[in-house]
Amino acid sequence: MTGASGTVGREVVRRLPPEHALRVMTRRPAAYGETRPGMQVVGGDFTDEDSLARAVRGVTTAFLVTSPLAAGWDERFLRAAHHAHVERVVKLSAAAVLDPGADDAITRRQRACEDIVRTAGPAWTLLRPRAFMSNTLTWAHTIRTERTVRALHRSSPVACVDPRDVAEIAVHALTEPEHAGHAYEITGPAALTAIQQTAHLAHLLGHRLHCQEWGENAARTAWRRHHPEPVVDALLHSARRQQAGAKAHVRTTIPDTTGHPARPYTTWATDHLTAFT
């Protein structure tokens, strides 16, 4: 498992049935927080090919979480996996790869990474989730300090998904052979706008919240502090696609695969409410 300390990966670790031996790769093994019987935690870094070779030795199935902003990670990991005769790779990708209008640098890279996985040798499964509900954790600070959410195109809907549902599908893909050669688009149960998510949070918190339009100029200025210009452009492009309705369709992958309804935003928010208080 790569990405095992991340949003989706840590939920996969919690859900993987105990009969499956598990090796977790992280840059900081001593800081890794999850425990389970028989789990191995090893050091590894996508920028260090030797560490990847050590991490995949003896592995039959790999969960691959990379960043579409980083060059070479998928290539290096898949090379190591192929050499080590890894039989299957389940990759966390993104629903944007399916959007015909998505031609930004991040989505182009995500599509290229999918191609690498499909042609590397091991059997593959691609998971393509829509935006994670947990992205709204970025609102926590201004909710706590100003009772305000600042969102770009606040009335545009996205069929956001609970990362725990993505993790459940990942567990099916990792443990059941019939998912090899398949790609799954994964959405939540409804398309919600930032205004609607803010209203749900306000209801659960028991006080008013204001959802303010952030504006492209303010978003660009804030993102420039953390990202290079092509990434900022890609994020703005993605927000405009959302405004045009490209992210609103709902898929039934979660109920079809797990047998239970996709978790609604109110469930995610209830379970993470302390982050906003």
Ligand X SMILES: NC(=O)c1ccc[n+]([C@@H]2O[C@H](COP(=O)([O-])OP(=O)(O)OC[C@H]3O[C@@H](n4cnc5c(N)ncnc54)[C@H](OP(=O)(O)O)[C@@H]3O)[C@@H](O)[C@H]2O)c1
Give the interface with ligand X as residue ranges (CB under 6 A): 2-9, 26-28, 45-47, 65-68, 92, 94, 129, 131-132, 135
Q: Where are the alpha helices (DSSP H) in 147-264?
A: 163-175, 194-205, 216-224, 229-243, 253-258
| Beta carbon nearer to ligand X, 29 or 255 | 29
Q: How far is the CB of 196 from ligand X (least distance, A)?
A: 17
| Beta carbon nearer to ligand X, 64 or 143 | 64
Tokens of 180: 């090899």
**3-state secondary structure (DSSP) of residue 154:** coil
| Beta carbon nearer to ligand X, 68 or 122 | 68
**3-state secondary structure (DSSP) of residue 17:** coil
Residue-by-residue DSSP string for 11-73: HHHHHS-TTS--EEEES-GGG-----TT-EEEE--TT-HHHHHHHHTT-SEEEE---TTSSSH
Given a contact cutoff of 8 angstroms between Cβ atoms, the answer to whether 60 and 86 are in contact is yes
Output phi, psi for 186, to 5 deg.
-125, 120
Q: How far is the CB of 155 from ligand X (least distance, A)?
A: 19
**What's the one-letter identity of residue 277?**
T
State the first-to-last Cα distance of the chain, in angstroms, to the nearest integer.
33
Q: How far is the CB of 32 from ligand X (least distance, A)?
A: 7
Cα–Cα separations (whole angstroms), residue 118 to 158, 180, 195: 28, 11, 39
Closest-CA residue to 111 (of 122, 120, 102): 102
| Beta carbon nearer to ligand X, 56 or 94 | 94
| Beta carbon nearer to ligand X, 55 or 211 | 55
| Beta carbon nearer to ligand X, 92 or 143 | 92
* Residue whose Cβ sits closest to ligand X: 6
Q: How far is the CB of 140 from ligand X (least distance, A)?
A: 15
**What's the one-letter identity of residue 99?**
D
Q: How far is the CB of 193 from ligand X (least distance, A)?
A: 16
Q: How far is the CB of 40 from ligand X (least distance, A)?
A: 14
CA 248 remoteness from chain centre: 17
Q: How far is the CB of 30 from ligand X (least distance, A)?
A: 11
| Beta carbon nearer to ligand X, 135 or 207 | 135
Half-sphere exposure of 100 (CA within 13 A, CB side): 0
